Amino acid sequence: MKILSIETSCDETSLSLFTATETASGVDFDVDSTITQSQIDIHQEFGGVFPALAKREHQKNLVPILLKILNQEAAENPEITSNSEIETILERESELLESFIKYVMPIQNPGINAICVTSGPGLEPALWVGISFAKALGLLWNIPVVPVNHMEGHILSVLVPETNPEQDNSFSVQAELFEFPALALLISGGHTEIVLVKEIGNYEIVGKTRDDAVGEAFDKVARILGLPYPGGPEISKIALLANKDTSTDIVLPRPMLHTKDYDFSFSGLKTATLYLTNDIKAKNNGVIPEHIKALIAYEFQEAAAEVIVKKTLSAINDFGVQTLIVGGGVSANKRIKELLKQKASEIIPAENVYFPSRELTGDNALMIGLAGYFKIKISPDAVYDDIRANGNLTF
Ligand code: KG4
Ligand code: ZN
């Protein structure tokens, strides 16, 4: 089965093309390529993702990425000037419609059997661009379009081995994917969730943030410290410079550390960081000395890591699972990864702790294609004829 997948839920425009072949022991995935175009530079000046801009950029990026992934030169066919059904599908994406008619309409289907597209959660205007593009392609090539939950993509991203990052590669997965039930910790810019994975396609959220997502807190704290967006990598970079031996009163709270549930709260931690930073600024003529900035970043990261690790370990114990899957942009955080790996492997087998490869921690279409592939496998006859963007899609 040859699958084209599309991801546009936030600020990455990503397409992936792979062929999945069933074998006696599982499935072989042969990835043609995954191309991800980040919009970070464009959103940076707003200090976060600006939905209308994201929508515009996705419209601009999709056709060039598709041509590249299919190894096609942009070639117009002057005989093709319009198509009323495609016009209806892409009526709210006028810029995309124009390039679709010009450059995509002349392309024959290169043997693709299905298109998988993120339908949520995410920014609805951004999601719609990917969905409308997928529907237009599905109509053009007369193949099914399968909606995918972005968070399921993050869970399944761990199936791609570390040694085989995004580019031209192949990898196999065993029929027994994980030891079920498994626990998934999903930490990203929009989500902080602990999910019980009973099997692929069967998920139950057992804990989540009551306010900000952890990635969002990293981004906001970075802004407080005058660091650029996205803040996660910036915070962890300067946290390494912290000299923890200097006696300091830089202490931040660990919200909900001792509550009996698996929920989180990061907004109070962010506010505490703001007050602390303002105090320091007031005493230093409005500036934060660099060594103190590093200490705040360090302490914030420790506080976030500590609650994440504690809640995840409690859930592993309470649900009696033997497998931990970690996914989402914040899973790239070295400190959180190190602590989770170390502590989790004290209670479950170390080889049952899964993280995505560095390239797949952030948003990408390969994980969406994988989730779509398993969805098709589980329900081969399902028909999805009214796919809509759902910004708050949940399990
Ligand atoms: O999964 P993702 O790419 O997009 C969403 O679906 O949200 O996650 C992006 C988030 C951003 O908030 C970013 O600051 C955070 O992941 N992030 C990190 C790190 N790298 C990315 N947070 C902490 N440490 C990192 N190294
Ligand atoms: Zn994501």
Pairwise pLDDT comparison (375 vs 170), residue with the higher score: 375
Q: Per-residue pLDDT for 345 more than 60? A: yes
Q: Which of 29, 28, 26, 27 is nearest to 16 (CA)?
A: 29
Q: What is the pLDDT of residue 44?
A: 83
Strands 12-22 and 26-38: antiparallel
Q: Which atom of ligand 1 is nearest to the CA of 222?
A: 14
Q: Indicate if ligand 1 lies below 6 Å from the C-beta of 233.
A: yes
Tens of pLDDT, residue by residue over 130-187, are 999 999 999 999 999 999 999 999 999 999 987 655 555 789 999 888 999 999 999 9
Mean pLDDT to the nearest integer, 375-388: 96
Q: What is the pLDDT of residue 248?
A: 76
Tens of pLDDT, residue by residue over 237-274, are 999 999 988 767 899 999 999 999 999 999 999 999 99
Q: Indicate if ligand 1 lies below 6 Å from the C-beta of 121.
A: no
pTM, 2 dp: 0.95
Q: Indicate if ligand 1 lies below 6 Å from the C-beta of 327.
A: no
Q: Per-residue pLDDT for 129 more than 80? A: yes
φ, ψ for residue 260, nearest 5 deg: -80, -5
Q: Indicate if ligand 1 lies below 6 Å from the C-beta of 153.
A: no
Q: Which of 170, 186, 274, 259 is nearest to 222 (CA)?
A: 274
What residue spans of the chain are helical by DSSP H? 40-44, 51-69, 84-89, 94-99, 124-141, 150-156, 214-224, 231-239, 267-283, 290-319, 334-344, 365-378
Q: What is the pLDDT of residue 78?
A: 83
Q: Indicate if ligand 1 lies below 6 Å from the C-beta of 189.
A: yes
Q: One-letter amino acid identity for 324?
A: L
Q: Per-residue pLDDT for 352 more than 60? A: yes
Q: Indicate if ligand 1 lies below 6 Å from the C-beta of 63.
A: no
Tens of pLDDT, residue by residue over 34-90, are 999 999 888 888 777 889 999 999 999 999 999 999 999 888 888 888 899 999 999
How many CB atoms neighbour CB 345 within 10 A?
Answer: 14
Question: Which residues have beta carbons under 5 A from ligand 2 (an ion)?
Answer: 188, 363
Pairwise pLDDT comparison (202 vs 49), residue with the higher score: 202
How many CB atoms neighbour CB 306 within 10 A?
Answer: 14
Q: Which atom of ligand 1 is nearest to the CA of 12?
A: 3
Distance 155 CA to ligand 1 centre (A): 15
- Give the alpha-carbon dihedral of 375, 376, 377, 379, to 10 degrees: 80
How many CB atoms neighbour CB 160 within 10 A?
Answer: 24
Q: What is the pLDDT of residue 27?
A: 96
276, with CB counted inside 10 A (0-12, 13-18, 19+), is buried
Q: What is the pLDDT of residue 241?
A: 96
Mean pLDDT to the nearest integer, 195-211: 97
Distance 362 CA to ligand 2 centre (A): 6
> pLDDT over 70 for what percent of the chain?
98
Q: What is the pLDDT of residue 188?
A: 96
Distance 279 CA to ligand 2 centre (A): 34
Mean pLDDT to the nearest integer, 319-337: 98
Cβ–Cβ under 8 Å, residues 196 and 204: yes
Q: What is the pLDDT of residue 254?
A: 98
